[in-house]
């Protein structure tokens, strides 16, 4: 029962967030109606054409009414036409989102095992040589921006070794080879970050009294790590992993544009530089949806991993908690 209540409440919050964002996006893009007409009809349109278009499309109505009208069409799946791609937006987005999902999935498939693995390894014995090496590596990879590592990896794998394709357009259908470089760039950046979070969390757990007790009782290190430490140490990293999902959605822009990968990031980028307002609106709403969904998931995961957290917010009164 509390779980259903929790989900309902989170869903309510999500809807409220989406409404707020939709209003802001709509305000930013459609408050100046003349601007909308120019963007839709192009700069070669005449003043009369624009006036006629505004009249025909209900732009002379009050703002609130226009917003509600837009919201109603949006909810019912009428997302309008892209002025740049000249195609219905509802048809454009799923493909692009799927392409980015492949990219994100590929990246997560590297980030999660390597990030967690390296973090645990480093956090098991804080201060050891392994810890130092992993920490330095993590700091170095996370501090290289994605546009720099994209160039670097291309120089090595495309121009020098000639092992991988230099562009990832996927024009000839899905190609695993074309996925390698963009995935590597994303993974390079995030793996180190996750490793550092995991390391910190692990090191903290390893210093707690119950682990010390286990040590004193003579338990082996693997046993301590797997039986006692992991569950507690994973709470933060799992939340971080789930928060990577929305980051992957918007953070891929640089990588996608660099490799000419036709995913959600390129779509958003091209919508923005071409002032394709309806497409920007739709992309913004899709992004918000992804963000709120992953937030709910991460809260759920947090609650499941940490029984001391009450999903409905109030901390569970636990006996001896005050000690």
Partner 1 sequence: MTDKTKIETTSGLPAHPQVESLCDQLTAGRIDRRSFLRSMTWLGVTAASASAFAGFIPAPARAETPVAGGKLRFGCAIQEITDPALTSWIEASNLYRNSLEYLTYVDADNIVHPYLAKSWAPSADLTVWDFELDERAKWSNGDAFTPEDVIANIQRWTAPESKSSNKTAFDAVKLVEKTGPHSVRFTLSRPVASLPEQLYSYTCAIVHRDFDTSGANWPANPIGTGPFKLVSFEVGRQATFAKRADYWGTPAHLDEIQYIDLGTDIATHLAALASNQVDLIYRATIAEYDLMKSLPNIQILTGSAAHTLVMRMQVDAKPFDDIRVRKAVQLAADNKQMLDVVYRGEGQIGGNYHVSPIQPDHFPLEPVARDVAKAKALLAEAGYPDGIDLELTLGNTQGRWEQDTAQVLQQNLAEAGIRLKLNVLPAAQYWPVWDKVPFGATYWAHRPLGSMTLDLAYRSGAAWNESHFADPAFDAALDSAMGTVDPEARKAAMEACQTILRDQAVMVQAYWPARFSAAGKNVRGFVLHPADYFRMDGVWLAKA
Query: For binding to partner 1 (CB under 8 A), which residues are involved?
Result: 38, 43-44, 84-87, 151, 154, 158-159, 162, 164-167, 169, 171, 257-260, 262, 266, 270, 273-275
- Which residue number, 92 or 108, has a Cβ lying nearer to partner 1? 92
Token pair, residue 144, equals: 């290289």
User: CA-to-CA distance for 303 and 228, rounded, in angstroms?
Assistant: 18
Region of 260 on the Ramachandran plot (φ > 0 left; ψ -120 to 50 alpha; else beta): left
- Which residue number, 62 or 162, has a Cβ lying nearer to partner 1? 162
Q: Which residues contact 250 (CB under 8 A, 6 or more apart)?
A: 265, 268, 287
Q: Which residues contact 231 (CB under 8 A, 6 or more apart)?
A: 305
- Which residue number, 131 or 146, has a Cβ lying nearer to partner 1? 146
In the complex, minimum distance from the CB of residue 33 to partner 1, in angstroms, rounded to a whole number:
17
Compute the radius of gyration of the chain from its Cα atoms: 25
Under 8 Å between Cβ of 104 and 183: no
In the complex, minimum distance from the CB of residue 20 to partner 1, in angstroms, rounded to a whole number:
28
Tokens 């492949």, residue? 102
In the complex, minimum distance from the CB of residue 181 to partner 1, in angstroms, rounded to a whole number:
9
- Which residue number, 127 or 162, has a Cβ lying nearer to partner 1? 162
Tokens 């009809």, residue? 41
Backbone angles phi, psi at 216, to 5 degrees: -60, -30
Among 125, 111, 115, residue whose Cα is nearest residue 225? 125
- Which residue number, 84 or 247, has a Cβ lying nearer to partner 1? 84
In the complex, minimum distance from the CB of residue 282 to partner 1, in angstroms, rounded to a whole number:
16
Helix (H, G, I), strand (E, B) or coil at 88: strand
Note the Cα 138 to chain centre separation in Å.
Answer: 20
- Which residue number, 117 or 166, has a Cβ lying nearer to partner 1? 166
- Which residue number, 239 or 266, has a Cβ lying nearer to partner 1? 266
Region of 313 on the Ramachandran plot (φ > 0 left; ψ -120 to 50 alpha; else beta): left
In the complex, minimum distance from the CB of residue 257 to partner 1, in angstroms, rounded to a whole number:
6
Note the Cα 66 to chain centre separation in Å.
Answer: 31
In the complex, minimum distance from the CB of residue 114 to partner 1, in angstroms, rounded to a whole number:
26
In the complex, minimum distance from the CB of residue 88 to partner 1, in angstroms, rounded to a whole number:
13
């Amino acid at each position: 029962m509390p779980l259903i209540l929790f989900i309902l409440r989170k869903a309510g919050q999500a809807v409220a967030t989406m409404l707020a964002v939709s209003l802001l996006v709509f305000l930013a893009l459609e408050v100046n109606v003349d601007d909308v007409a120019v963007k839709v009809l192009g700069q070669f349109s005449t003043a009369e054409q624009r006036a006629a278009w505004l009249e025909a499309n209900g732009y002379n109505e009050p703002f609130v009414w226009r917003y509600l009208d837009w919201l109603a069409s949006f909810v019912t799946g009428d997302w309008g036409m892209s002025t740049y791609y000249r195609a219905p937006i509802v048809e454009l987005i799923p493909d692009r989102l799927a392409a980015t999902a492949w990219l994100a999935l590929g990246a997560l498939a590297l980030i999660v095992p390597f990030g967690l693995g390296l973090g645990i390894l480093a956090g098991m014995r804080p201060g050891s040589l392994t810890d130092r090496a992993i920490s330095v590596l993590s700091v170095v990879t996370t501090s290289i921006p994605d546009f720099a590592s994209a160039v670097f990896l291309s120089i090595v794998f495309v121009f020098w070794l000639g092992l991988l394709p230099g562009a990832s357009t996927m024009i000839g259908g899905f190609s695993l080879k074309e996925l390698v470089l963009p995935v590597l760039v994303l993974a390079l950046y995030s793996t180190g970050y996750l490793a550092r979070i995991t390391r910190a969390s692990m090191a903290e757990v390893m210093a707690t009294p119950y682990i010390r007790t286990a040590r004193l009782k003579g338990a082996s290190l693997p046993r301590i790590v797997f039986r006692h430490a992991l569950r507690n140490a994973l709470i933060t990293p799992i939340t971080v992993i789930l928060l990577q999902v929305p980051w992957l959605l918007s953070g891929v822009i640089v990588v996608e544009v660099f490799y000419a990968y036709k995913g959600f990031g390129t779509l958003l980028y091209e919508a923005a530089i071409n002032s394709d307002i309806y497409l920007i609106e739709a992309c913004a709403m899709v992004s918000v949806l992804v963000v709120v969904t992953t937030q709910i998931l991460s809260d759920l995961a947090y609650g499941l991993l940490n029984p001391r957290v009450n999903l409905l917010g109030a901390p569970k009164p636990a006996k001896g908690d005050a000690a």
